[in-house]
Amino acid sequence: MNAKPYEIISFYEFKILADLEMLKTRLKAAMREHSVFGTILLAEEGYNANLCGAKQDIQFFLNDIENILDTKISYKSSFHAASPFRKHEVKIKPEIVTLKKKVDISKGIGTHVKPKDWNAVISAPDVFVLDARNHYEHKNGTFKNAIDPNTEKFSDLPRFVAETFDPQTHTKVAMFCTGGIRCEKFAPFMKELGFAEVFQLEGGILKYLEEVPKEEQLWEGECFVFDERRTLDEKLEMGSGTDYSQRAYKL
């Protein structure tokens, strides 16, 4: 018997969506049909999902929603003994990750760094490493020498950058977040501010922990996640970290 029968997946995509109410109805029906639990956020700018189900159910579900969303889903995966989600939720929001800034996502083309190349980027002496997550996430774990912006929510990050960074001085900035979505929005924002070289960890911390052998990792501590597991260790298994957020989960 599988001791960890539940697969937890996360995925997102920035793409223009129309008829959000229709998509909401179809996606929620697919979640119910395949016994998939969690939350999908929809906005005109795209979608963002954190879901859980039996591995076979997840695969059938993904086949359905690729047709619904007219796309190919690229997701990050981990496994757990119990489902961390209890509801079938699809929500329509102004943004799939809240920055409260208009951003041209296409400006982020060319900023992605594969997990296997990330160590070399952040080890360069002239690169400033920015943790794009909130302070309670940073406290559980981060990359060596990463700057903690000490923010309560993602929309606070532009103010921190304005007060701390100078495009003329900080010409190379590498950033990371849990699964990549925040950097997907913030890297092009930094480019628009005039920062010459911006790097973002493709797939985020989760993909890095999945692909980079433990003995080679520059990650220190555990990775905070927005579900009942609280943190994941270097094997993407439930960790022992403290929930410093007081459950005030704000991307």
| 177 classed as catalytic | yes
Dihedrals phi, psi of 200, to nearest 5 degrees: -130, 140
Short-list 115, 90, 100, 209, CA closest to 156: 100
| Ramachandran category for residue 86: left, alpha or beta (phi over 0 → left; psi -120 to 50 → alpha) | alpha
What is the length of the chain? 251
Query: Of 52, 177, 183, 223, which residue is the catalytic one?
Result: 177
Task: Return the beta strands (E) in the chain as ranges.
Answer: 6-14, 37-43, 46-54, 76-80, 88-92, 112-113, 128-131, 141-143, 172-176, 197-201, 219-221, 223-224, 231-232
Query: Angle formed by the axes of helices 115-123 and 204-211, to 10°?
Result: 110
Burial (CB count <10 Å: 0-12, 13-18, 19+), residue 2: exposed
State the sign of the Cα–Cα–Cα–Cα dihedral 136, 140, 142, 148. positive
Q: Provide the token pair at 86.
A: 């209890």
Q: Which residues are catalytic?
A: 177
